[in-house]
C-alpha cells in the first residue's frame, strides 16, 4: 500500500524551531519529487515547498523562504521540513504529498499523508 506518514508536529513558542518528518512506503521514493502543503485551522490549502528526487533542487513559498528547509534521505525513504523562526501564522496541519508523475514538479498530488499539526503559541 502506498502510504505517507508525517510526524513531529507539536506546540512551539514563537521564534522556535521544529523538524517534521514524512515516512514513505509502497513506492519507489527516489523516483519522485516530494512536496509539503499546509492548512491553517479552518482555512484552505497552501503549498509550502518542493524538493527534487535527488534533493539537488528545492523551492519554497515566499511565506516560508529563508526560514524553512526541505530535505530528504532516500536511503530512509524519508522527507523532512526544518522549520525555524516560527510565527503564529505558521500554525497549520502540515501534509507531505506525492506527485503522480516522475517529473520535476510532478503534476497532481495522488497521495497525501494524514498530516501533522504544528501550533505556534506562547
Partner 1 sequence: EIVLTQSPDFQSVTPKEKVTITCRASQSIGSSLHWYQQKPDQSPKLLIKYASQSISGVPSRFSGSGSGTDFTLTINSLEAEDAATYYCHQSSSLPLTFGGGTKVEIK
DSSP class of residue 55? S
Q: What is the H or E stretch that residue 25 is in?
A: strand 18-25
Residue linked to cell 517529473? 103
- In Å, how far from its chain's centre is CA 47? 9
Please tell me the distance from the alpha carbon of residue 40 to that of residue 118, in angstroms, as a whole number: 9
The answer to whether 35 contacts partner 1 (rule: CB under 8 A) is yes
Piece of 8-16, 24-32, 67-75, 111-119 that binds partner 1 (CB under 8 A) = 111-119
The answer to whether 27 contacts partner 1 (rule: CB under 8 A) is no
**Residue with smaller CB distance to partner 1, 3 or 82:** 3
Q: Which of 16, 47, 71, 119 binds partner 1 (CB under 8 A)?
A: 47
Residues 6 or more apart whose CB falls under 8 angstroms from that of 119 comprise 9, 10, 11, 12, 91
The answer to whether 50 contacts partner 1 (rule: CB under 8 A) is yes
The answer to whether 26 contacts partner 1 (rule: CB under 8 A) is no
**Residue with smaller CB distance to partner 1, 38 or 72:** 38
The answer to whether 114 contacts partner 1 (rule: CB under 8 A) is yes
Q: Which residues bind partner 1 (CB under 8 A)?
A: 35, 44-47, 50, 59, 61-62, 95, 99-100, 105-110, 112-115
Amino acid at each position: 500500500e502506498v502510504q505517507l506518514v508525517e510526524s513531529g508536529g507539536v506546540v512551539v513558542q514563537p521564534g522556535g524551531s521544529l523538524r517534521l518528518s514524512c515516512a514513505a512506503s509502497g513506492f519507489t521514493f527516489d523516483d519522485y519529487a516530494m512536496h509539503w502543503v499546509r492548512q491553517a485551522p479552518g482555512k484552505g490549502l497552501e503549498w509550502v515547498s518542493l524538493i527534487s528526487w535527488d534533493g539537488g533542487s528545492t523551492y519554497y513559498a515566499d511565506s516560508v523562504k529563508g526560514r524553512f528547509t526541505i530535505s530528504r534521505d532516500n536511503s530512509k525513504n524519508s522527507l523532512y521540513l526544518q522549520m525555524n523562526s516560527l510565527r503564529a501564522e505558521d500554525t497549520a496541519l502540515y501534509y507531505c504529498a506525492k506527485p503522480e508523475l516522475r517529473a520535476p514538479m510532478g503534476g497532481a498530488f495522488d497521495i497525501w499523508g494524514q498530516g501533522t499539526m504544528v501550533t505556534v503559541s506562547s
